């Protein structure tokens, strides 16, 4: 043990990201990236950037981006914060809205970064265990300073009713971050709650529906006092010049984003039908991935055998998740290869 490192940091495991293979032959269905390229406007924005401008700092408050997002969702730029990926904004929320004796809440299972943020802050983590079939019910006496709610949830892909979310926001005494990373693939969203409630922030990312996971751009919308507090504690220039320009181009091409989403949803429908025909249990998905329980073979074994065939899906060991796999929706050809391989493995048991 090093005497120079905080005890809490020594004790924690940290966040484990999905495997990132370097072999281009691998079918990569494990990290919920888009299988298709972003808007051509992104390429055009990159080509129009002048290298000489990189000697200058970027806009420290990403004002052009905030104006575009306010135009898309309502409100004003004062209601918008831009982060270096959603993860930066989540971390800033854990610092801005939780006292040292406070607590951070989240679903279990959900995004595995949430408990790590509580560990980094050395505050109490108060997970809410989802019930049978991952149903949500809050304990009557539940208390926390900050609650991270992924909606639709990950890794399950389930979207809880907006009426239930609205009621929870109305009675919760702390700040709620509605993490809508996958919401463009869902039936409904909660962005209006960010404008209605003074304790609600809605978080979005360009990683999924805009096909820009490599860019690292997230944003949050909410009441001006909450947004102002995030600006107070962010890094000086947290979003670089290239990211601001290309993100603005992507956000300005809503038609391309909607076309990508429609294509992925069509592939999702076909893949659900194919897996269910084999006997998989497939949970209702409002995301760009599926949460499935395979028949006649354990999830761990299916994950391992698929990996041996250069098909990567995500497996989460643990008492609540060990029987399931999370499968990102890829291209039609990638999903057909997955279904073909799974059919043989399931038949062999």
Of 253, 283, 311, the domain-final residue: 253
**CA 90, 80, 162, 257 torsion-angle sign:** negative
For residue 118, the SS3 value is helix
Q: Is residue 224 part of a domain?
A: yes
Q: Tokens 């929706």: give the residue.
A: 329
Give the CATH number, domain containing residue 327.
Answer: 3.90.1150.10
Phi, psi of 59 (to 5 degrees): -60, 120
**Please, how many CA atoms are within 13 Å of residue 244, restricted to the half-sphere of its CB?**
19
Q: What is the pLDDT of residues 96-123, one digit of tens each?
A: 999 999 999 999 999 999 999 999 999 9
- Domain coverage including residue 203: 40-253
Q: Is residue 59 part of a domain?
A: yes
Tokens of 91: 């971390």
Same domain as 67, residue 32: no
Q: Tokens 């009441």: give the residue.
A: 223
Same domain as 99, residue 71: yes
If residue 227 lies in a helix (H) or strand (E), which one and from where to where? helix 224-233
Cis? peptide before 194, omega within 30° of 0: no
Q: Give the single-character DSSP code of 318.
A: S
Q: Is residue 134 part of a domain?
A: yes
Mean pLDDT of 76-82: 98
Q: Is residue 198 part of a domain?
A: yes
Long-range contacts (CB closer than 8 Å, 24 or more residues apart) made by 258-264: 260/34, 260/36, 260/209, 260/210, 260/211, 261/184, 261/185, 261/209, 263/36, 264/34, 264/35, 264/36, 264/185, 264/288, 264/329
Same domain as 162, residue 70: yes
Q: What is the pLDDT of residues 292-327, one digit of tens each?
A: 999 999 999 999 999 999 999 999 999 999 999 999
**Residue 3: pLDDT band by 50, 70, 90 thresholds?**
confident
Same domain as 207, residue 318: no
For residue 158, the SS3 value is coil
Same domain as 182, residue 259: no
Count of the separate structural domains present in the chain: 2
**Residue 167 Rama label (left phi>0; alpha psi -120 to 50; beta):** alpha
Give the CATH number, domain containing residue 163.
Answer: 3.40.640.10
Same domain as 184, residue 68: yes
Q: Give the pLDDT of residue 87.
A: 97
Q: Is residue 160 part of a domain?
A: yes
Higher pLDDT, residue 188 or 16: 188
Same domain as 162, residue 130: yes
Mean pLDDT of 58-79: 97
Same domain as 207, residue 154: yes
Q: What is the pLDDT of residues 125-178, one digit of tens each?
A: 999 999 999 999 999 889 999 999 999 999 999 999 999 999 999 999 999 999
Q: What angle do CA 330, 331, 334 make, to 5 degrees?
A: 80
Same domain as 178, residue 69: yes
Q: Where are the beta strands (DSSP E) in the chain?
A: 27-28, 80-83, 103-108, 124-129, 146-150, 175-179, 200-205, 218-222, 281-282, 289-293, 311-312, 314-315, 325-328
Of 194, 218, 253, the domain-final residue: 253
Q: Is residue 125 part of a domain?
A: yes
Same domain as 239, residue 284: no
Of 238, 253, 268, the domain-final residue: 253
Same domain as 299, residue 333: yes
**CA 275, 28, 301, 16 torsion-angle sign:** negative
Among 159, 139, 142, CA closest to 150? 159
Q: Is residue 17 part of a domain?
A: no
pTM of the model: 0.96
Other Cβ atoms within 10 Å of 89 Cβ, number: 26
Q: Is residue 18 part of a domain?
A: no
Same domain as 235, residue 273: no
């Amino acid at each position: 043990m090093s005497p120079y490192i905080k005890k809490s940091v020594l004790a924690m495991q940290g966040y484990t990201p999905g495997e990132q293979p370097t072999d281009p032959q691998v079918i990569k269905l494990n990290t919920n990236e888009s299988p298709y390229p972003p808007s051509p406007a992104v390429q055009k924005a990159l080509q129009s950037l002048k290298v000489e401008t990189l000697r200058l700092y970027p806009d420290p408050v990403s004002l052009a981006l905030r104006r575009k997002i306010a135009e898309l969702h309502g409100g004003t730029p004062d209601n918008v914060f831009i982060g270096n990926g959603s993860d930066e904004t989540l971390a800033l929320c854990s610092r801005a809205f939780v006292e040292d004796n406070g607590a951070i809440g989240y679903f279990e299972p959900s995004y595995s970064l949430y408990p790590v943020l509580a560990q980094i802050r050395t505050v109490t983590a108060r997970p809410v265990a989802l019930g049978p079939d991952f149903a949500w019910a809050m304990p009557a006496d539940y208390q926390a300073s900050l609650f991270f709610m992924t909606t639709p949830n990950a890794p399950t892909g389930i979207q809880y009713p907006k009426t239930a979310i609205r009621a929870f926001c109305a009675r919760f005494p702390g700040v709620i971050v509605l993490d809508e990373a996958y919401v463009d693939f869902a039936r409904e969203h909660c962005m209006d709650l960010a404008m209605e409630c003074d304790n609600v922030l809605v978080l979005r990312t360009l990683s999924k529906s805009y096909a820009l996971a490599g860019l690292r751009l997230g944003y949050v919308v909410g009441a001006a006092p909450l947004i102002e507090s995030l600006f107070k504690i962010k890094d000086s220039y947290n979003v670089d010049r290239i990211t601001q320009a290309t993100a603005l181009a992507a956000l300005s091409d809503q038609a391309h984003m909607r076309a990508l989403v429609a294509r992925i949803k069509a592939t999702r429908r076909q893949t659900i039908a194919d897996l269910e025909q084999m006997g998989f249990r497939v949970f209702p998905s409002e995301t760009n991935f599926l949460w499935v329980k395979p028949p006649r073979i354990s999830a761990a074994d299916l994950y391992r055998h698929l990996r041996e065939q250069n098909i990567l899906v995500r497996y989460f060991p643990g008492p609540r998740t060990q029987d399931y796999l999370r499968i990102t929706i890829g291209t039609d050809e990638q999903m057909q290869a997955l279904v073909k391989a799974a059919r043989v493995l399931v038949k062999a048991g």
